[in-house]
Structure 1
Amino acid sequence: MFEKLKNALRIRKSDTTGQNLILRNGRLHLDIISMGRYLFGNLRLLVFGAIVAMTMTGLILCLVSDKYRSQATILPSGKTENLSLLKEMAGLAGFGIEGNESSSVLYPDILSSRQIKEAVINYRYSFGNPVQTEMTLKEYFDTSVNEHLLRKLESITSIDLDKSTGLITISVETKYPELSQAIVRRYLAELEDYNMYRRRSSARERVVYLERELAQRETELRQAEDDLEQYQMANRNWNMTSDPEILSNLNRKKREIMAKSETYLFLRNQYDLAKLEVQKDIPIVRVLDNPSLPLVKSGPQRLLITLLSGAIGVGIMSLFLIILCIFRNSREAVPGIAGMPVTARRTILETEEVNR
C-alpha cells in the first residue's frame, strides 16, 4: 500500500510532448496549466483526500445532537398618546406630559438586556409529553458561572428588528423542541412583566411626588385659611373698621390664600393628569406569531457540511501536492543542463535520482 502511495506521489517528469511540466530548461516554472495537468494526474489522491475529510466530518457530526428552533413574532406598537379629549374635558390642556414614542423600538434592547437574560436563565422549565422534564438553563448548559451562562444563552438566541415593518422576531435553538418553545415564551413573559411593572416606574414616581406636594400645599392652604379666620374673629368689626393696619393685614392674608389656592389647583390638575398617564401608559406586547413548536430540525446541516469538508479536503491535498511538486523539482534543477537536449537532460536527472 505504501509503495503504491509512493509511486502515486512520484512527480511525473514529462508531459505528452516529452517536456517537463514544472522544470523547463533547467529552471522552475509555475503556471496554471501545468499545475492543472499535474493535479489531474493525481486525481486518485485528491479523491482520497476528499473521502478522508468527509468520513471524519461525518463521524464527528454523528456525535452532534440535532437542534430545533422555535420562533415568535412581535407586532410594532404605535404611539399610545390618545388623551387629548380627556384633557379638554378635565380642563388640563397645556399642562400635560408629552406622549411616549413607539415603545416597541426598544424591545430588542430590552430582550437583550442582562436583567431579562438572568430571569430567563433562573427560570425552571417544564416540558415534554407524556413524560415531563424539568430543568434550568444552568443544568442544560452544565455550568453555574453566570458570565458563561449569559454567553451561551446569547449564542442560542436570535433577536431581529425589521426596520421597514417594525416587526420583531425572536428565536431560540436547543436540542429539545419543547425547551426551545418554552424559552421563547419566557422571553415574551419577561418582556410583558418589564413593561407592566418596571418600565412605568418613572410615571409612578411622578404620581407619588405630586401626591406628596399636593398634600403639603393643601396643609399650607388650610393653615392660611385658619389664620385668616382667627384674625377676623379677633377683630370682629373688621368689615366696618377703617384701621389701615387691620385692613392691610386682611389684604395680605387674602393674597396669601389666593396664591396658595392657585398653586394647589395647578398641582391638583397635574396630579389628575399624571394618574391618567399612568393608566394609559401600559405598553402591551402584541404577539403576531406565538412561539412555534418545531417538528423539523434546524441543524446541523450534515449534508452541506460534509460536502464542504470534502471540498476543503481536496484543497488541502492539492496544496500538499503542489508544495511537494515544487520541492521535488527544485531539487532536480541541476545547474549546467540548461539548453541540453531533452534526452540528455532526462538521463542526467535519472542518474541524480538513482544516486540519491
Structure 2
Amino acid sequence: MKLTTHEKTILELIKKHPDIVDNPSSRKLIAQQYGFKEKTLRNRIGDLKKYGALDDLLLRANPLQSFESNYVNDEISMPLLVSIFWNERHLILRNVFIVSLSAIIFSLIMPKTFRSTAVLMHPSSDDQSGILGALSQQMPFGSLMQGGKDESMDFMAILKSRTVMESVIHEFGLIDFYQSDNVERALESLRENVNIEIQEEGTITTSVNVSTGWFHPEEEELNARQMSASMANYFIDQLDAVNKGLKIEKASFQRLFIEKRYRQNIVDLKNAEENFKIFQEDHKMISLPEQTNAAIQAASAIKAQQLASEVQLGVLTKTLNPNHPNVVRLNNEIKELKIKLNEMEYGYNISDQDKLFPSFSEVPELGIQLMRLTREVEIQNTLFTFLTQQYEDAKIQEAKNTPTVQVLDKGKIPELKYKPARARIVIIGFTFSLVISMYYLHFLNRWKKITAN
C-alpha cells in the first residue's frame, strides 16, 4: 500500500502517540505541537483506517480493543458461517452429544418429586345458630347483624399453623426424613413442600410434595407416592380435629355464659311474680279494669239514690215539719250516701281489709304500678323462654361431634411424578450446547483472522 509523504508523517506520529486515534483532547494537543489543525489530523487518521494501515499498529497497542472493533465493524457473512459450522460439524455434534447425554443421565438419577392434592368444599358458617343469630332474627334490623363470616381464611390459618405442622412432623418422622437438626428446620422444609391455596371457585386445595433421594431404588419411589397421599389426608384430618376442638371450646364458653344468665333469669322471674302477687294481695286486686267498672256502677247507683232522696226531701220539707221522722230519715240517708261516695272516691274512714273496690283517686297510680309489674313479669317470661331454648342449643353444640369439613377429593396416590421435567432438561441441554458450540467456532474463527492480519 503506497502512502503519501504527509500520510507517512501522520503514521509516524501515531506510532509515537497511539492515543491520538481515539482521544480528541490528546489529538488536539499533538496537532498544536506539530503545527497541524486538529481537523486535518482527524481526517488523515480516518483515511489511514480506511486503508488498513492502522490495524497492525492498533493490534500491537491493544489487541482486545482491535478485536472488538473488527467484530463490531466487519460484516458477518452467513455463507461463511455455514461453511465454518459444516467444517467443524464433528466438534459440534460431539459437544451436543456429550451435553445431551449428560442431561439425560442427570435427569434419570436426580430426585423425583411426587405430589398429592386434597380438595375441600367451600366451608359454610354456622355462627348464626347461637345467641347472636337468634337475637338477629327477632330484632327489626336483625339482618344488619348477619354479616356471614367466611371460614375459608380460618381453614387456611389452621392448616398453616404450627400446631398442625408439628403434628404432621411427628406423625411421619419428618425430622429424620428431611435430615433436619431440629423441629425448626423440619418446619421450614415442610412449609417448602406444602402448598395451600383458595381456588377461584372457593375450594381449598392442600398439596404435599415428597421427594426421593439421588440414585433411588423403586421401593423409595413407592414410599414417596404413598407418603404424599397420606400426608395430604392427614392435613385434612388435623384440620377437622383442630376446628372441631375450637368450635367445642367456643360452644362451652357460650353454654357457661347462657347457663349463668339462665339461672339469674329464674331468680328474676320468681321475684317479679312474687312482687305481682304481693301487689294483688295488698290491694285486693284481681283485675283492675273489671273492679274499676264495678266500682263505677256501684257509685252510680249510690249517686242516683242520693239524688232521688234529695228530691224526695225537697218535696217533704215543703209540707212537713223539719223534725218529722220522714224528713229526719231522708237527711240521715242522704248524709250516709255522701259518706259512702267519699269513701269510694278517696278511701276515707275505711281500712284496706274492708276495701272491695279501689278508690277512684288511687286508680291511676295503681294502674301504673300494675302495668309495671305486669310488664316485668312478661319480660322475664319472654327471656326465660328464649334462654331455655338457647341453653339447650348450647348444650347440643357442646356435645356435637360431627365432622366440620367437607372433603371433595381425598389425596390419592400419584401415578406420575410431579418433577423433574426430563424432556425440558434434555431440550435445554441440547439447545445450550448447540448455541455455545456455534458461538465458540465463530469467535475462534474471528480471532484467528485478526491475529493473522
TM-score range, shorter chain: 0.5 to 0.7
Q: Which residue of 2 aligns with 1:172?
A: 208
| Superposed displacement of residue 109, structure 1 | 5.5
| Superposed displacement of residue 31, structure 1 | 6.2
TM-score (norm 2): 0.49
- Counterparts of 1:176-325 in structure 2, within 5 Å, are 176-199=224-247, 201-202=249-250, 204-226=252-274, 251=370, 255-268=375-388, 270-271=390-391, 284-294=404-414, 296-325=416-445
| Superposed displacement of residue 186, structure 1 | 0.7
Kindly indicate whether the alpha-carbon contact (under 8 Å) linking 1:195 and 1:283 is maintained by their aligned counterparts in 2: no
| Superposed displacement of residue 48, structure 1 | 3.0
TM-score (norm 1): 0.60
| Superposed displacement of residue 41, structure 1 | 3.9
The alpha-carbon distance between structure 1 residues 41 and 158, as it changes in their structure 2 partners (threshold 3 A), is farther
The alpha-carbon distance between structure 1 residues 262 and 113, as it changes in their structure 2 partners (threshold 3 A), is same
The alpha-carbon distance between structure 1 residues 59 and 231, as it changes in their structure 2 partners (threshold 3 A), is same
Q: Which residue of 2 aligns with 1:47?
A: 93
Deviations along 1:256-291, one digit per CA (max 9) or x if unpaired, are 444444444444455556667778996643334433
Q: Which residue of 1 aligns with 2:159?
A: 111
Distance 1:92 1:308 in 2: 63
Q: Which residue of 2 aligns with 1:28?
A: 74
Distance 1:147 1:33 in 2: 62
* Secondary structure in structure 2 of the residue aligned to 1:285: coil
Deviations along 1:216-254, one digit per CA (max 9) or x if unpaired, are 333333344455667778899678576969959964555
Q: Which residue of 2 aligns with 1:151?
A: 188
Structure 1: 5+ residue stretches without partners = 1-21, 126-135, 333-348
Give the aligned residue type for 1:94. Answer: Q
| Superposed displacement of residue 140, structure 1 | 0.8
The alpha-carbon distance between structure 1 residues 256 and 169, as it changes in their structure 2 partners (threshold 3 A), is closer
The alpha-carbon distance between structure 1 residues 110 and 247, as it changes in their structure 2 partners (threshold 3 A), is same
Kindly indicate whether the alpha-carbon contact (under 8 Å) linking 1:207 and 1:274 is maintained by their aligned counterparts in 2: yes
| Superposed displacement of residue 153, structure 1 | 1.8
Deviations along 1:68-95, one digit per CA (max 9) or x if unpaired, are 3334344445677999xxx9xx999536
Distance 2:78 2:252 in 1: 75
> Whose relative contact order is higher, 1 or 2, with alpha carbons under 8 Å and at least 6 apart?
1
* Secondary structure in structure 1 of the residue aligned to 2:266: helix
| Superposed displacement of residue 198, structure 1 | 1.9
Distance 1:36 1:169 in 2: 53
Kindly indicate whether the alpha-carbon contact (under 8 Å) linking 1:116 and 1:191 is maintained by their aligned counterparts in 2: yes
* Secondary structure in structure 1 of the residue aligned to 2:115: strand
The alpha-carbon distance between structure 1 residues 27 and 66, as it changes in their structure 2 partners (threshold 3 A), is closer
Distance 1:190 1:103 in 2: 16
Q: 1:94 aligns with which of 138, 160, 165?
A: 138
* Secondary structure in structure 2 of the residue aligned to 1:70: strand
Kindly indicate whether the alpha-carbon contact (under 8 Å) linking 1:23 and 1:29 is maintained by their aligned counterparts in 2: no
Kindly indicate whether the alpha-carbon contact (under 8 Å) linking 2:114 and 2:416 is maintained by their aligned counterparts in 1: yes
Distance 2:252 2:75 in 1: 81
The alpha-carbon distance between structure 1 residues 47 and 23, as it changes in their structure 2 partners (threshold 3 A), is farther
Kindly indicate whether the alpha-carbon contact (under 8 Å) linking 1:195 and 1:282 is maintained by their aligned counterparts in 2: no
Q: Which moved more, 1:183-192 or 1:197-206?
A: 197-206
Distance 2:79 2:398 in 1: 77
* Secondary structure in structure 2 of the residue aligned to 1:194: helix
Report which of the two structures shows the higher radius of gyration computed on alpha carbons.
2
Q: Which moved more, 1:60-69 or 1:227-236?
A: 227-236
| Superposed displacement of residue 187, structure 1 | 1.0
Report the RMSD for the aligned CA atoms in angstroms: 4.8
Q: Which residue of 1 aligns with 2:323?
A: none
Q: Normalized per residue, which structure has more helix?
A: 2
The alpha-carbon distance between structure 1 residues 81 and 229, as it changes in their structure 2 partners (threshold 3 A), is closer
Q: Percent identity?
A: 20
* Secondary structure in structure 1 of the residue aligned to 2:112: coil
